[in-house]
Structure 1
Amino acid sequence: MNSNAQTAARLSVAPMMDWTDRHCRYLHRLLSQRALLYTEMVTAPALVRGRALHLLDYNVEEHPLALQLGGSDPIELAQAAQLGAQAGYDEINLNCGCPSDRVQSGAFGAVLMQSPDLVADCVAQMRAKVDVEVTVKCRIGVDEQEPREILPVFLQKIRAAGCQRVTIHARKAWLKGLSPKENRDIPPLDYGLVHEMKREFGDLHISLNGGVNSLDEVVSQLEQGLDGVMVGRAAYHQPADILAAADARIFGGEAVRDPFEVVMQMLPYIETQMGQGARLHQITRHMLGLFSGRPGARAWRRILSEGAHRPEAGPELVQEALAQVTRQLAAG
């Protein structure tokens, strides 16, 4: 197990609800051995009160791997963090950035930007219970807050509580008036403020999140002095573009992964998972963007999208889709 999540955080794939499940993470790990992967957000009440410990399941190959928790009760979060640490996660991350309605009604996620003292207490309680690193993912502010005023206060308080690594989504969240989807696009990005925070809090490991769509942009942000970059939707929709060359370009040295080989490596995984009750489409939905922008990408998507839901569908459908890509590539 690689427990050095801090090194891995030079490039991470954002926690995304309904997307970064264990099948998605297994695929991403085949593309990059080094990037830091995150679970979808798991709520502390689900683990502690609901005992839904199956939410912590993962494949050992997924390390380095961080568990993202949602919640606002310091004691409950500490208990949930303990369960995550016992399950072997390399990092426990507290969500202070998600603007969904569900999160607002539970008074956590981006709502926590309004309560830096509470967040500091959550971090302190979690750190007291686990040996692995406790990190925070936040916004630059919410609603009418002035980011230049609130963000330094927020960072100061969590740093004093022992948080040494933070990922900043460089947009405000509007809790009133914008949907979660709009909150990912409409509020303007302020990369400059994140860079300012890095200069002001030199000892904090600061990663930038929001609007990063290519590996070139990741490299550029790192060269400008940030410690890490977290990529969200681009890593999901064009996984090979972001992750296949990441180990070579971001971490220095290893070979670039070939999406064809990655598909071949997914086949035994698909067989094993289907043997344990998974349906093909639950796995292949994460693979649809694997050939994005390359010859055969459309045929690959079509065959998997149309066929993977069928009850009899299995690994041979993936092989059929791959054969189409190979044919189109050969046809030039």
Structure 2
Amino acid sequence: MVFFVSKNPTVYPHEGFNAQEDGDALRAAMKGFGTDEDTIIEILCSRSNAQRQKIAAYFADELGRDLIDDLKGELGGNFEDVIVALVRDPEEYLCKQLNNAMEGMGTDEKTLIEILCSRPDNEVRRLVDAYEEKYNRPLAEQLCGEVTGELRRLMTFIVTGTRDSGDDVDATLAREQAVQLFEAGEDRFGTDESVFTKILAKENFNHLSQVFEEYKDVSGNTIEQALKSEVDGDLLEAMLAIVECVQSPPAFFAKRLYKAVHGAGTDDETLIRIIVSRSEIDLGTIKEEFERIYDKTLESYIRDSMVQGETSGDYKKALLALIK
């Protein structure tokens, strides 16, 4: 099995794109009394990020203005957050999300796990480089001050490039590692978490897929069942995220979207982050997985669950435009 991210986006480069026309239209939508939110949504939600960067460059070079500053001055709340997220460079946006998860009192481990544990090595390396360039501090150094124990060890392995960057599968080694995992968990009293950490954080996703298949043969249980019986807390969440993204990244993100909207209140930051960051990658497949798992479309779930009056109509309209 070869691991890959299904290229099934919902946002594509706009045909006939013209940065000047879009830039002038956006400027007019924000100039004078009132704001034309529909024009902002129509343009920014139907352009690729590369095209949005060209619009931002037109704003800076020809109009002498900062597009993000103008948007922040005109918009507010979650609607502002989703529109500004669209205009940021994708890696810069995720780095900002990582930084937000670690700054101030407390740490948002779930965001760190979602961003860092869901991606193969090449994507993590780009984030690590972008983070140090933006914040002048190694991501690993900051993580070590925010998370503890085995979770810190797992994440340190991930962000320091310990994971195999190739895609080869060693069937003999996979069998040996499946046995190691069994002996470190289900086959003993207590759990040697370090064995799970070393294998899950160091092997490439293709190889891990084979390890998990071998584990079922060795144990009779799935690796998910084993983890749930042997590990708990944030470490369990991180390890399950790796397992789920080895098997199906779209299913992982579909479940995250469901949890973000389900229950009392909406986790808007997670909702925005996943929809924006996956819209040009695999949001189309995430939609398919969402409907398969929950027997309802992602569009209807967002439309019906985010009650009008509790959230901005423009915010909901922008989200729906991105997942169309």
TM-score by structure 1 length?
A: 0.32
Higher relative contact order (CA 8 A, sep 6+): 2
Q: State which structure, 1 or 2, has the greater radius of gyration over its C-alpha atoms.
A: 2
Structure that is richer in helix per residue: 2
TM-score by structure 2 length?
A: 0.32
